[in-house]
Amino acid sequence: MNDFAPWQEWGERCAADLCSEDTQAALHEFAGMKWSLYLERGTRGSEIPGSGKISSREAWQRFENYCWIKPTREGKSTKSYLFGQLDVGKEGTPADIVRASASLIMRSVVRDFLRHEGPLRFPGHAKPALSLSDVPPNSSESLTYEDLLRDTRDPSKEAEFRELEQLAVKEAVEIIAGLKERQLIVITACALGIALSNPEVEKIAGCKKSVLSEELKKTLRDIEKGIHKDYAEEDVRGRIELAEEVFRAIHNICSQPKNQPEMWQSRLFSLATDIEK
Amino acid sequence: MSKKLPAIRFVPRPDWQKKRLAEWLEEWNLEQKLRGDTESETPSQDRHFPVIGAVVGLMNTPALLRTADFAADIVRRLSSAKAPSPPAVSPDGEAMRKLVREFDRPVAVGQVRLLSPELTPDSDRPVFIAVFGEWDEAEVLIAPFSPFSVPATTGEWLTGRTTPVLQVLEVWNARSVPNAALEESWRVDAFTDAECKGAWHVFEHDAFGKALDPEFEQQVGPPLVHPEDPRRRYQDEEVALLAKFQASAQSMQGRRFDEDDSAPAAAAAPELQEAFETGEDLALAASEKELLPEIVRVDDLLAGFQGEATGDGCAPSKASRLRLTFTGPESPRPMEVPAGGVIIVWPTGQTEPSSFTHRSGRWRTEIRLSLPWPEMVSLLREKKIRSETVPPA
């Protein structure tokens, strides 16, 4: 039996259960192998008891169930999708192509299993549910998932928020007046949407992009620190809101053309126009 | 001495939103693990300070650029793949006919379809879409289903279905396409009328800012605010998934418009649009319900933004208010978005400033005017309405 024969037989029949024993064995083996691979990946770092593993046959049945929308030929169109991969000029043998595509579907099957049944199948072993106070992967410790969904402004305090925005503009003007030229260059470039790696920006600022990038981070960090320090007795959520408004105001001010621009400002604005074109 | 802030106050996010975000993130993180994606997601900006990340992100990393990066990444990965193997030798024609069903034609609203691999070559999963509304002539509105079981954003709708691949509809990723663009796909199921209406309702909410009916409020995901939110990467991936399909649909649209241009105007344009464009007295026409357009494009009202005006409510001709929505993609860049908002001015009045908000990759504002729709149509026709941008306070 060649590699593709089991897939072809399955494709022509309704389900693996109606195929020859050899075909069933080959399909189950494929499913079992992929199931184990993804289960291992998905549960890496946590101990999975032997009882949590499933048979190759069950793995295949889960695969079929996941693929079927309805128990009709129409509802089983995922089969057509799998075999349709052979017609789009992919490289490899027909068996390789169909297996690769089926393997990606199996990944979703395992994700679905781990997400919804994992905690039941592996009691005491599954990773506890994600908490919003967790830190996103590869992120610093001060950004939590909770930061992604911050509280909203109370609409009954609209006038006070407008006051806050005015205060932010005032602060922004003072902050800008105290910045050095290179700091202003990086912030303006950023506000105009010009990459700091742009050679022209490097020329205008007289230093390399890595230095500029550090300058930007440090400047913004210092501004935020300053706000937290100046308003130390206020609630932290209010301080963050002010900092955001200040950054927005700095962004607006720096991106507005000036009546009597400095040389570096003219060069940055004309660079922005060129990029836009 | 410490400075003082105005007496501002915040409203906590509802618990269900937090729970839903946590659930979605759990699925997303699991997906990353299963992909074996060990390469770290390099933070584009400083994550030590979420605020800085937020603002710098706003300034510097528009979604379109990220999409381009993603596309470039795919090209890079493909080009660095191992030495080419010979192309597949498919089973012969007869055998293939047994394995691959013929595509289902015609396309109609209410169908749930599976796009062919030809249309979604970069996808790592079968892409199912719902055809949930009519759009232009011979065009329909479609949206793909999410791979996840939890809605990611306010533009994703929990359909209530239990089939894993049809649980969440990405309404934010909806697009209008010619019917013909969907011909290389298979019909797999059907949406009920109620499901089509539900999808349309969430679409109006996401695209035009229409308030959600109470029963829908908890059928969508939590809002997307932070530029460093992993849901943005997810959205970029989902948009890229349909890149080839979109390109093919656009080329069909282009062909269709070209054909329309060569046709007589009367045949090409719908009756109402023709009345609007040829300068018939719409003030009079407005009294005739059948001659009153329900939507008027006002793309020239605010440079760089698309706009449309509609009557407020299901019966625009009876509406006493106008809803005016401007949307602009990431370009115009934030610097070109009027910081202080925009006001609408007409001979007898003007609105309060209305600010732009950034949602689902676009800048939007919705303005309500207390004018009867027929009068508004007439004023728009006579170009007696204009917009003014407001400088920051």
In a domain, A196, yes or no: yes
How many domains in chain A? 2
- Any B CB within 8 A of A21 CB: no
- Whether A131 is in a domain gets the answer no
- Give dist(CA B76, CA B15) in Å, integer: 42
Residue A164 and residue A264 share a domain: yes
Mark which residues 143-182 of A lie under 8 Å from B by CB. 143, 145-157, 160-167, 169
Q: Does the residue A144 lie in any domain? A: no
* Contact between chains at B90 and A163 (C-beta distance less than 8 A): no
A213, B42 in Cβ contact below 8 A? no
The residue whose two tokens read 């955001």 is A244
Top residue of B92, B186, B231, B390 to mutate, by most chain A CBs within 10 Å, is: B186
- Which residues have a Cβ under 8 Å from the Cβ of B269 and sit 6 or more positions away? B277
Choose the mutation target among B3, B119, B167, B355 for the interface with A, i.e. most A CBs under 10 Å. B3
The shortest C-alpha distance from A120 to chain B (Å) reads 16
Q: What is the pLDDT of residues A25-63, one digit of tens each?
A: 999 999 999 999 998 888 876 666 654 578 999 999 999
- CB-based contacts of A118: which residues, under 8 Å, 6+ apart? A43, A126
The chain B residue lying nearest A245, using CA atoms, is B55
| Contact assignment for B189 to A136 by CB distance below 8 Å | no
Residue A188 lies in a domain: yes
**Nearest-by-Cβ selection for B87 from A91, A148, A195:** A91
A133 touches chain B (CB under 8 A): no
Chain B residues touching A160 at Cβ < 8 A? 6-9
List alpha helices for chain A, DSSP H: 5-12, 21-42, 56-67, 78-84, 94-116, 118-121, 158-177, 181-191, 199-205, 209-230, 236-255, 263-276
Domain identity same for A112 and A166: no
User: A234: domain range?
Assistant: 156-276
Task: Judge whether A273 is closer than 8 Å to chain B, CB to CB.
Answer: no
In CATH terms, the fold of domain B100-254 is SH3 type barrels. (2.30.30)
Can you tell me the distance from the alpha carbon of B155 to that of B219, in angstroms, rounded to the nearest whole number? Answer: 10
Q: What does the pLDDT average to over A59-83?
A: 92
> 10 Å Cβ neighbour count for A77?
29
pLDDT beyond 60 at A141: no
Tens digit of each residue's pLDDT, chain B (393 residues): 789 999 999 888 888 998 899 889 989 988 999 998 643 333 333 333 344 444 444 333 333 333 333 334 433 433 344 444 444 556 776 777 788 999 998 999 999 999 999 999 889 999 999 999 988 778 899 999 999 999 999 999 999 999 999 999 999 999 999 999 999 999 999 999 999 999 999 999 998 888 999 999 999 999 988 777 889 899 999 999 998 888 888 777 666 555 554 433 333 334 333 333 333 333 333 333 345 566 677 877 887 777 777 665 434 444 444 556 666 655 555 556 777 788 888 877 787 787 776 655 566 777 777 676 777 777 887 788 888 888 776
Task: Check B88 against A69: CB less than 8 A apart.
Answer: no
- Cα dist. A72→A13, A76, A78, A79 in Å? 12, 6, 12, 12
Q: Considering chain A, what percentage of its residues have pLDDT values greater than 90? A: 60
Please give the pLDDT value at position A50.
59
Residues A84 and A40 in one domain: yes
Task: For Cα atoms B362, B365, B367, give the angle at the middle one, nearest 5 degrees.
Answer: 155
Q: Does the pLDDT at position A254 exceed 50?
A: yes
Same domain, yes or no: A107 and A206:
no
Q: Are residues A94 and A178 in the same domain?
A: no
Q: What is the dihedral of CA A236, A240, A241, A243, to 10 degrees?
A: 130
Between CA A172 and CA B305 the distance in angstroms is: 28
pTM of the entire predicted model: 0.67
CB contact under 8 A, B91 and A232: no
A55 touches chain B (CB under 8 A): no
Residue B10 and residue A192: Cβ atoms within 8 Å? no
B93 touches chain A (CB under 8 A): no
Q: Is A30 on the interface with B (CB under 8 A)?
A: no
Mark yes or no for CB contact B125/A105 under 8 Å: yes
**Rounded CA gap, A189 and A199, in Å?**
12
Burial B282-315 (b: 16+ CB within 10 A, else e): beebbeeeebbbeebebeebbeebebbbbbbeee
CB A193 within 8 A of CB B333: yes
Q: What is the pLDDT of residue A104?
A: 96
Alpha-carbon distance A123 to nearest alpha carbon in chain B (angstroms): 18
Pair (A161, A266) in one structural domain:
yes
Residue at A138 is within a domain: no
Q: Where are the domains of chain B?
A: 100-254, 268-389
Q: Which has the closest alpha carbon to B143: B126, B163, B129, B157?
A: B129
B287 shares contact with chain A (CB less than 8 Å): no
The answer to the question of residue A140 being in a domain is no
Q: Are residues A33 and A103 in the same domain?
A: yes
Contact B320, B312 (CB under 8 A): yes
User: Is the separation of the CB atoms in B126 and A93 below 8 Å?
Assistant: no
How far is residue B304's CA from residue B327's CA, in Å, rounded to a whole number?
Answer: 9
B110 vs B131: CA distance, rounded Å = 5
Q: Which two tokens stand for residue A262?
A: 């400095």
Does position A184 have pLDDT exceeding 50, yes or no?
yes
Give A106→chain B minimum CA distance, Å: 10
* Banded pLDDT at A257 (limits 50, 70, 90): confident
Q: Is the Cβ of A1 closer than 8 Å to some Cβ of chain B?
A: no
Does one domain contain both A162 and A271? yes
- The answer to whether position A149 is within a domain reads no
Q: What is the ipTM of this complex?
A: 0.77
Name the more confident of A128 and B318.
A128
**Is the residue at A147 inside a domain?**
no
